[in-house]
Amino acid sequence: MFGVRIENLHMSYGDREVLHGITLEVKPGEMFFVLGPSGCGKSTLLRGIAGLVPSAAGHMFIGETEVTGMPPYMRNTGMVFQNYALFPHLTVGGNVAYGLRLRDVAKDEIADRVRRMLALVGLPGYESRKPAELSGGEQQRVALARAVVVEPQVLLLDEPLSNLDAKLRLKMRRDLKAIQKRLGITTVYVTHDQREALSLADRVAVINDGNLEQTGAPREIYFRPINRFVAGFVGEMNIIQGKVKDVEGASVLFDTPLGTLAVSTEGVLRQGQILDLVFRPEDVQLSYKKGVSGKVVYSAFEGFQEEVSVEVDGAGVLKAFVKGKTSPMAQEGDEIKVAVEEGRIRVFPHVNHR
């Protein structure tokens, strides 16, 4: 198996630099996600690995081979585009076989590999159908089969599930992960969908405005974001201000609108320092007995959970996710108590605007 190594990569469109010195490594056989908002440069990075967009500076390796400057046909990568890019005039079999024909593979071997690949993606016997006869999920599977049948060293996926409805998208996530693990192929997957990245990835790289913010396992990215951007983009967050009151061992006591909170932090803090305390909605605890009083300003039942927003003096509106029950946790206008799980709080430098 082959991994991917990128060192100090800069990529530009004309005079506009899109990627600013990206360095990362994808391990052999890994399902590696590149996550970020629209326009952050993640698709440009993927196209750079494929050789479809030239790099301005830096180095790229597939395995031990440097591919910087190599044309796409020499890189042995397979790519699935967002719109699948199937040839409408070719059959399913013709689409899947396209790359093999370009490589002058023998006809008998082409037929056998196409048949086996369609069986792998759950489309046995579909060889003679045209793309227009297929559902969106089936077209996605054909595009995947076409990319994988040539046995690429690296599979590149550019938001391949974005055109599917929510229920089919969830099913295809599971199928795609199962296929990738069965093949053991190194995969780089670009998306802006946080749930997709967290549920499928072995590791995730978060990119913002052309810069690499953080790389790590999904749980690390979610529970230990390195900065405010990662905390806010990967999931949702609440922010309150805290003033350093005292230091007790490994914990710092903060005066906050939610009372005195003991938080584990890194670095040396001084008494009286103002910082931002960040925590997830699922770490907010609501009850009618314990905590700081607040007023419910929004409540919505979402099946598996309720989303409840509570206005607290000095803290603004805090969002909570509560496990779904047969009766509502709270209604708009209710007075309720708010607390937070202190061990899940992250501390970042204070900024005046939100």
What pLDDT, on a 0 to 100 scale, did the predictor assign at position 326?
73
Sheet with 251-256: list strands edge to edge: 259-264, 251-256, 238-248, 274-279, 346-349
Question: Quick one: average pLDDT of 295-309?
Answer: 92
Tell me: do 285 and 343 sit in the same domain: yes
Burial 135-154 (b: 16+ CB within 10 A, else e): eebbbbbbbbbbbbbbebbb
What is the distance between the alpha carbons of residues 217 and 226, in angstroms, rounded to a whole number?
Answer: 13
When divided into structural domains, the chain yields a total of 2
What is the distance between the alpha carbons of residues 146 and 160, in angstroms, rounded to a whole number?
Answer: 13
CA dihedral of 234, 240, 244, 248, whole degrees rounded to 10: -60
Query: Would you say residue 354 lies in a domain?
Result: no
Rg (Cα) of the chain, in Å, rounded? 25
C-alpha distance from residue 5 to each of 41, 71, 201, 239 (Å)? 17, 17, 18, 36
Q: Would you put residue 95 in left (φ > 0), alpha (ψ -120 to 50) or beta?
A: alpha
Tell me: do 246 and 224 sit in the same domain: no
Query: If pLDDT is split at 50, 70 and 90, which confidence band does 293 have?
Result: very high
CB distance 40 to 3 below 8 Å: no
For 119, the 3-state DSSP assignment is helix
Of 107 and 172, the structure prediction assigns the larger pLDDT to 107
Which tens digits make up the pLDDT trace of 263-275? Answer: 988 777 888 999 9
Does the structure show a pLDDT above 50 at 354? no
Burial 109-134 (b: 16+ CB within 10 A, else e): ebeebbeebbebbebeebbeeebeeb
Tell me: do 62 and 165 sit in the same domain: yes
Does the structure show a pLDDT above 90 at 164? no
Tell me: do 180 and 288 sit in the same domain: no
Residue ending a domain, choose from 185, 216, 233: 233
Does the structure show a pLDDT above 90 at 82? no
Tell me: do 256 and 195 sit in the same domain: no
Q: What CATH number did the domain enclosing 9 receive?
A: 3.40.50.300
What pLDDT, on a 0 to 100 scale, did the predictor assign at position 127?
95
Tally DSSP H helices, then E strands, for the chain: 8, 20
The first and second tokens of residue 168, run together, are 């089919």
Cα Dmax for the chain: 76
Which tens digits make up the pLDDT trace of 191-200? Answer: 999 989 999 9
Angle at which helices 107-120 and 166-183 pack, to 10 degrees?
130
Tell me: do 205 and 300 sit in the same domain: no
Phi, psi of 306 (to 5 degrees): -110, 140
Tell me: do 208 and 84 sit in the same domain: yes
DSSP state, 85?
-
The first and second tokens of residue 36, run together, are 């970020």
Q: What is the mean pLDDT of the chain?
A: 92
What is the distance between the alpha carbons of residues 206 and 212, in angstroms, rounded to a whole number?
Answer: 6
pTM: 0.89
Q: How many CB atoms lie within 10 A of CB 83?
A: 13
Query: Would you say residue 197 lies in a domain?
Result: yes
Which tens digits make up the pLDDT trace of 247-291? Answer: 877 789 999 999 999 998 877 788 899 999 999 999 999 998 889
CB distance 1 to 48 below 8 Å: no
Tell me: do 312 and 163 sit in the same domain: no
Select from 5, 2, 3, 39 the least CA-distant residue to 22.
5
CB distance 272 to 318 below 8 Å: no
Tell me: do 175 and 249 sit in the same domain: no
Tell me: do 282 and 172 sit in the same domain: no
Query: If pLDDT is split at 50, 70 and 90, which confidence band does 104 have?
Result: very high
Query: If pLDDT is split at 50, 70 and 90, which confidence band does 160 have?
Result: confident
Residue 310: domain span = 238-349
Read out DSSP for 315-342? TEEEEEEEE--SS-S--TT-EEEEEE-G
